[in-house]
Amino acid sequence: MAKIKPSKGAPYARILGVGGYRPTRIVPNEVILERIDSSDEWIRSRSGIETRHWANDEETVAAMSVEASGKAIADAGIAPEQIGGVIVSTVSNFRQTPAVATEIADKLGTNRAAAFDISAGCAGFGYGLTLAKGMIVEGSAAYVLVIGVERLSDLTDPEDRATAFLFGDGAGAVVVGPSEEPAIGPTVWGSEGDKSETIKQTVPWNEFAVGDLSKLPVDSKGNIKFPAITQEGQAVFRWAVFEMAKVAQEALEVAGISPADLDVFIPHQANERIIDSMVKTLKLPEHVTVARDVRTTGNTSAASIPLAMERLLATGEAKSGDTALVIGFGAGLVYAATVVTLP
């Protein structure tokens, strides 16, 4: 029996560069309130959100990804041709095949990089980061680009009082490459499929396309609604606050550090009340910088963690070499948490 030659990769992997792109249009709560019976005070108190960015026709999933990725590649100080893998996490690219990652890899000028999409909702960036780490250590790529990108404005029901104010658009990207020391900790990830109905698409594509139109939801004017994201807000809130704090704590433990060792906490930017509750449950010290990009960017699902990371570094609230806990959680229900060294 022939013996397979072992792979030769880097001893460890790390994030080398980060980039983000937010659409040019900024949408305040007042615009959202034109379609729902609520108030600016209610939206802010329930979510912390003041504004969000919505993409125009030119700001496609691919276009936003290319912009964010170009910044990340430049930040990492490498050339596009050195990228050996492109991983894109998104739930809002409407063309199911081919993977949008292949288009992005080509437009960036990579040299025929492996490219694929993943669908892991708001935990997608953590899933992609874990896969990229494995590729670097296994030796199948020298550098891997991980992108979280969403156009959730396309999947938002403007008349759904529970979700109309939550979602925004944008893209965040990181370059993962070799490291001589550990800089991406073990990932604590998983899924709870028995709770999958708590966050879901209202109508499957096949029913929307060819189903009984009389059974499809309609808006206040009687028009058939486009499929949108809906959720059971209280159930999601309880799960995120109580269960995800446990996952975050486990990620700290497997990385061998305590909350006191952290410099930065970058949770998925779903809701500021969830963020505040997790900070309290984890008993994070006051010196830990907490990402609150949700206030002006909204919930951008897979893009939220890299966008928040990019903003913290750009504003100086976090610095290169800081130790950060990142955790994403959402539809599925899925989750992923790990400790990283910031680029």
**Active-site positions?**
122, 268, 299
Residue with tokens 């594509």: 205
Q: Which residues fall within 8 angstroms of residue 156, CB to CB, at 6 or more apart?
A: 163, 164, 166, 167, 228, 229
Residue with tokens 């990089």: 113
Residue 91 carries which side chain, given as an amino acid letter? V
| Angstrom distance (rounded) from CA 320 to CA 301 | 24
| Angstrom distance (rounded) from CA 105 to CA 115 | 7
Phi and psi, residue 3, nearest 5° = -100, 130
Q: What is the DSSP letter of 184?
A: B
Contact 155, 167 (CB under 8 A): yes
173: Cα separation from own chain's centroid: 10
Strands of the chain (E only): list them.
12-21, 25-28, 51-54, 83-89, 114-118, 143-151, 169-179, 188-191, 199-201, 229-231, 264-267, 289-290, 323-330, 334-341
